[in-house]
Amino acid sequence: MNQPQRKPNIVVIMADQLAPHFCGTYDHPLVQTPHMDALAARGVRFDAAYCNAPLCAPSRFSFMSGQLISKIAGYDNASEFKASIPTFAHALRHMGYRTCLSGKMHFVGPDQMHGFEERLTTDIYPSDHAWTPDWEAADERIDKWYHNMDSVKEAGTAATTFQIEYDDETCFFARRRIMEYAMNSVEPFSMVISFIHPHDPYVARPEWWDLYQSDEIDLPNTDAPSDPHTERLRVGIEADVVQPTEQEIRNARQAYYANVSYFDSKIGELVKALDESHQLDNTIIIVTSDHGDMLGERGLWYKMNFFEHSARVPMVIAGPGVSHGVCDEPVSLVDLYPTFVDLAGGADEMPEGFTANLDGRSLVPLLQNPSTEFSGEVIAEYCAECASHPMLMIRVGDYKFIHCDVDPDQLFNVVSDPRELINLAADPEHADTLASFKARVDAHWDSEALREAVIKTQHQRRAVHAAMEQGALTSWDYQPPRDASQEFVRNHMDWTVAAEKTRFPPFKPSES
């Protein structure tokens, strides 16, 4: 009798603000990422993977839902992620998976689970509408939560930070649950383990900082031509009035590199836990990020734009049935939802609501053969701070097109011009390519209607937040349940039974 095929476990290890350009896995000559390297050596490294919104919460909403932010109104870091939107956690749970989240996902709103059966930690950022931008006063900084240059000027080392404490906790609880799944024969399971590093502030523990020497740190390229959105961002982060010294820039990049290696160490801990719990051979591992970091390139820091350092993400996938190689086909985070469904057995018998509105495509053909022609397009949107109108990006083949109604169009060949120095939008030889992209924009978006929708939700969210600040606070921040009376050894249990139950692998008497 044929045994039913085991469904693979699916484990996502997610960084925050990690650009592939600053990973040894992606050929940076200095940054050490041995654990990501090892996964790439036995899996597929995607060299043209993008986020669908270069900002934390919107990117994660699109990643979870497999939909673009304009469809789900997930515009910025204070937009509600609606409970009625199916996520891949819902879909996998429907397919029999135990679904678990440890770490950051920046859910905004009263639903702090979105399909996860359990959540091991709280989130690191607020879950309310406090960080709502104002597109009708787009030139005004909101000092309380806008990025500024302090992270660059104050970069360095520390024994601990709130980010280090958070990521250590995220990894600890995830590792514990991986072991418990093995002890209790829980399969299949899907875990998202999401870290805050290497997101600014650029502060690292000394052991990671000391992996690098200041005089070895490469400086960013700042000779690129400017554009209106770049200037808006420079004002928004105060880079127009605060100029860090060369040493401060080196310090910021050294701390970032250190924290990339710190994040990589967490990959190693989690892979080791899967291996020691005898679950690695049946686990698909995905390493990625929500967006990148400019890290001084073009005179910009952080994200919020569609240049490669901000919009591209690492994506490494390894596990049973995954080929070995490098894929240069443009893909994006919305492709992961249908990929997970495909890996879990397909969507043939799933309710239509799980798959009808997806904007991505399964990457399984590329996992089986990285050279497969995918012929797809990558779409990304930006509808958040330091802007007043929707910004839209499309990547097809070698070309990337960036459009905003109030800015000149930008067209780059990112293969022959990876630094995006030559805007081809006014080049007559590329008129047909430009026209093709403009037609795609017209087919995908009504920019003015989208702008009106964004502003409408901003009005609503600011009103709700103002009301919520009056009277007793009702917080949406997630409170992880924990009952210490049931942990370790207690008087209502036999300690020898507890010791036996929590030992993995189980003790086996010698046959001699």
- Per-residue pLDDT tens over the stretch 223-271: 999 999 999 999 999 999 999 999 999 999 999 999 999 999 999 999 9
182-212 confidence digits (pLDDT tens): 999 999 999 999 999 999 999 999 999 999 9
**pLDDT grade for 512, boundaries at 50, 70 and 90:** low
Pairwise pLDDT comparison (139 vs 329), residue with the higher score: 329
Q: What is the DSSP string of 144-165?
A: TTS--THHHHT-EE-S--HHHH
C-alpha triplet 45, 46, 50: angle, nearest 5°: 145
Q: Which of 35, 106, 129, 389 is catalytic?
A: 106
pLDDT at position 157 is 97
Distance CA 225, CA 153 (A): 24
Active-site pick, 56, 171, 386, 404: 56
Domains of the chain with CATH codes: 9-378 (3.40.720.10)
Q: Known catalytic residue: 403?
A: no
pTM of the model as a whole: 0.96
Q: What is the pLDDT of residues 297-350, one digit of tens each?
A: 999 999 999 999 999 999 999 999 999 999 999 999 999 999 999 999 987 778
43-63 mean pLDDT: 98
What's the sign of the alpha-carbon dihedral 47, 50, 54, 59? negative
Region 158-187 average pLDDT:
97
Q: Do β-strands 391-396 and 377-382 pair in parallel, antiparallel, or remain unpaired?
A: antiparallel
Q: What is the pLDDT of residue 139?
A: 87
Stretch 54-75: mean pLDDT: 98
Q: Is the dihedral of CA 66, 70, 75, 79 positive or negative?
A: negative
Q: Using 50, 70 and 90 to split pLDDT, how confident is the model at 4?
A: low
CB atoms within 10 A of CB 186: 16
Residue 473 has what pLDDT? Answer: 87
* Backbone angles phi and psi of 87, in degrees to 5: -120, 170
Active site residue 199: no
Q: Using 50, 70 and 90 to split pLDDT, how confident is the model at 497?
A: confident
Q: Averaged over 119-137, what is the pLDDT?
A: 96
CA gap 197, 202 in Å, rounded: 9
Selection from 60, 358, 382 nearest residue 195 by Cα: 60
